[in-house]
Amino acid sequence: MNEFQKQPATSHYAHYPEGEFPVYLAYGFRPIFLVLAPYIVLSIILWAFLYSGMISLPIENILNWHIYEMVFGIGSAMMIAFFLTGLPELFPGVVPIVGRKLLYIVVLWVLGRFSFWFIDYVGVFIVAFLNISLILYITLLAAIPVFKDKNKKHVSLAYSMLSIVAVQIAFFLSLEKVIDIDPYRILLLSIGLFLVLILLALRRVSMESINEMLEYEKIDEVFFARAFRYNLAIFSILLYSFVEFFYPGNSVLGYIALACFASILGTLNDFVLKDNNILLKPFVLYIISALVMTAIGYLFMSGNYIFSLNSLNHFRHFLTTGSFGMVFYIVMIIVSTIHTGRPIFTNKYLNIGLFLIILATFIRAFIPFYESYIIEAYIVSSILWAIPFIIYMKIFFPYLLSPRADGIKG
């Protein structure tokens, strides 16, 4: 293995800014995860009790709020953490953003979250400015080194980010009636675009974490997530998302969703190494389970069209509650472990957390089969979905608030 593979989370060191910084502002993922985990718990519990009518908030359209915060709110934080942490490693010479600059980014994200809670009072323009300016800034940070790179190896990440900026702008324009498109349709499109970014990020994160594990266990092989498999899955997801956007309800979506199912399952072939079986390694199972959950989502969505089940938006929760939730959880664990100078690990509590996300997903997605208990199902699934992130806080907050175990800055 080359030096990057041996020490995948230390290549930022040569360009780390001079000076001393608080530990919680020493690298991009630290403050983001410190505020994101509690926000995930807060927002999903609030949604359950808002939907049940037990509490009220000054939000006229709670469904748009829920989807926006789950997709753009939480998703944008994961984007920020991924790029602020990954750019100095993907592109040697990129200086990590730390200290006060990092604090400003976190504050802007927090302002964006609570501004959307009160969008009916502060107005669409202010909310749009806070949220779009942050994502646009992160996109530019990512795009500059990507397009300067002669090999253009990571250009897909930049295009994916730009598409998310564009669809977010379209969402706010639709809220202001500047464009005559239902904001809900734009939010559904954004789910597909975020899934594309998730697959691109998961491909890179899986190679980093699994090769770290292989070296730690002295397995003399290299794991490689092949681009063509992921490109086929991404093409299928984009095709489904745009056909649904322009031709909602079209029966051909059932067959495109089936193609999504098959192409996503195809990525699992990469986990079969030449001389070693890693399929049952605990952390490999985590990553595989997230891919399988995404495939299951499109399988059920396909069945909805083919068998006219009228449960599409319930089955879509395999992608949101399931895929998004599992990937957020897994990536937060991987980054909080490797980038604090520790070897990848799992334990029974982390395993329980992943199981609870899966259980919450099935409870939420199968609501059409027990609609008389819909309120109870919403509350139970939301609480179950929140618990893993409480587990994360218990285990990993001490890591985020202490220096790297290997003594390296960051």
| The pLDDT of residue 115 | 95
Domain count, the chain: 1
| The pLDDT of residue 7 | 45
CATH code of the domain covering residue 131: 1.20.210.10
Do the domain assignments include residue 323? yes
Do the domain assignments include residue 405? no
Do the domain assignments include residue 406? no
Q: State which residues form the domain around 223.
A: 3-400
| The pLDDT of residue 213 | 83
Query: Given CA atoms 256, 261, 262, 266 in this order, what sign does their dihedral have?
Result: positive
- 312-369 confidence digits (pLDDT tens): 999 999 999 999 999 999 999 999 999 999 988 899 999 999 999 999 999 999 999 9
Do the domain assignments include residue 135? yes
Cα–Cα distance for residue pair 220/214, rounded to 1 Å: 7
Cα–Cα distance for residue pair 35/330, rounded to 1 Å: 17
- pTM over the 0.85 mark: yes
Do the domain assignments include residue 360? yes
Query: How large is the angle between the packed helices 282-306 and 183-216, nearest 10 degrees?
Result: 150
Do the domain assignments include residue 336? yes
Do the domain assignments include residue 410? no
| The pLDDT of residue 209 | 82
| The pLDDT of residue 23 | 95
Do the domain assignments include residue 379? yes
Low-confidence residues of the chain: pLDDT under 50: 1-8
| The pLDDT of residue 281 | 81
| The pLDDT of residue 3 | 33
Q: Which of 85, 146, 89 is nearest to 334 (CA)?
A: 85
Query: Given CA atoms 89, 409, 344, 397 in this order, what sign does their dihedral have?
Result: negative
